[in-house]
Chains A and B, each alone.
Chain A
Amino acid sequence: MTPVVECLVAFLFGSVVGLLMQRSRFCNTAALRDAIMFRTYRNTKAMLMAMMILTVAFTGFMSLGAGHPMEFDVGLNTFAGLFLFGIGMVLAGACTVSTWVKTGEGNVGALWALVFTFVGMFLFSLVWSWNWWPPAPQTMTGEPNLPALQLGFANARTLQDKLGVPAIVFGLVQFAVLLAIYRAILRRERAQQEKHEQHQKDVAGQDA
């Protein structure tokens, strides 16, 4: 596939995603923030649904050696980076997707968050150029590198290669865990609904 075709496919994918996100008001930040702060799960359920579908599909294709899984070493920087990101997305009220989607709706605050995401990236590029951490992709080995706080690389396909068990088997285990979380949320929502209905009945009873 030529770079131009790759860019066209990516643009087409992004356009449909942007449209569906805008029409559904899905927000990844809300999926985490609302579950933590308000115990509401509208977005959390949607995120889990996508994760369940993708787990089965990705590990299924990885069992066959198909697809393009991401390959790079992970380590302390993965945890620490997403920790900072998690704080940032709640403060900004938007994540990488919703900054683009909300900007497309005319939200100037989202555009401002996007501009400062770029500024943050540039600032980190200066810090990286000074201390060269985390290691550049060219120096990654796939093996643990403890002085650089790196754990190496592992995914469903490396598990398949090492243990001789198809990647989809691990995928089905992960699917079952995600499904259990999804069902627990549904149970909690039902309980909240029943409590709400009971409360309304009590109030109506008092008024009468």
Chain B
Amino acid sequence: MEFFRKTLDPVFALAAIAVLDIFLFLLLGAWTVGGGETMMTGLIAQAVLGDDLQRIPFWNIVFPPHGDYWKIYISLGMLFGAFVGATMSKEFYLRMPRRASEWLMITVGGLLMGIGIRMAYICNVSTFFGLLPEMNLGGYLAISGILAGAWVGSLVYKKILEG
């Protein structure tokens, strides 16, 4: 099928996603990823720690873990959709970072993303495709933050690439 042979124009893809996001906004709430990831973290922690997790107030008060939280399934859907797209277009294959510096950058980057999402109560998706279109004050604060962060991150990235 043509769809799986050619790269799709991202402007078209994001316009289509925006239309779907309007329906999601009307039914449940705007597209978000960080909330579902937090719930998954809680469920994994519960599986590992059992009842001891109750001793950490965050998981009692802010995010009591439960599996029927709809935001989790957006992330699982994205994983499934991407897997189908990659398989159908014969683009699925295991890719490994080669250098130790890449592994280190990914580890630190992942940690900062997780800490940042929990500190802000939102992720980049909610920032651009939820809060900003709702003209939420938090959207403008978050965009200022993510632009400043991306600029600092780019400086660090350049230094590591050159160094």
Question: Residues on A close to B: CB < 8 A?
Answer: 1, 3-4, 6-26, 28-29, 32-33, 36-37, 42-43, 45-47, 49-51, 53-55, 57-59, 61-62, 66-70, 72, 74-75, 77-97, 99-109, 112-126, 128-129, 132, 134, 136-138, 151-157, 159, 167, 170-171, 174
Chain B interface, DSSP helix/strand/loop, else mixed:
helix
Per-residue CB contact flags for chain B residues 59-76 toward chain A (1 = under 8 Å, else 0) read: 101110000101111111
Q: Given the complex of chains A and B, what is the CA–CA distance between A151 and B68 in angstroms?
A: 32
**B113 and A96 form a contact (CB under 8 A):** yes
Contact indicator A13/B109 (Cβ below 8 Å):
no
Q: A91-B109, A117-B113 are in contact. Are A104 and B81 (CB under 8 A)?
A: yes
Once the chains bind, are A80 and B135 in contact (CB under 8 Å)? Answer: no
Chain B interface size band reads 35 or more
- Give the residues in chain B near A80, CB-CB below 8 Å: 119-120, 145
Interface residues of B (CB under 8 A from A): 3-4, 7-34, 37-38, 40-41, 44-45, 56-59, 61-63, 68, 70-86, 89, 91-97, 102-103, 105-138, 141-154, 156-158
Tell whether, in the assembled complex, residue B110 and residue A82 are in contact, meaning their CB atoms are under 8 Å apart: no
Partner of B109, one of A47, A62, A90, A154: A90
From B30, B97, B111, B143, A109 is in contact (CB under 8 Å) with: B97
Taking a contact as CB atoms under 8 Å apart, the answer to whether B79 and A83 are in contact is no
Docked complex Cα distance between A13 and B36 (Å) = 14
28 A/B residue pairs, CB under 8 Å, sorted by A: A6-B68, A11-B76, A13-B21, A16-B77, A17-B31, A23-B8, A26-B13, A33-B150, A36-B150, A37-B157, A50-B18, A53-B15, A70-B134, A82-B142, A84-B149, A86-B148, A86-B152, A88-B116, A96-B113, A105-B95, A108-B97, A109-B103, A120-B115, A123-B115, A124-B118, A128-B118, A129-B58, A138-B61
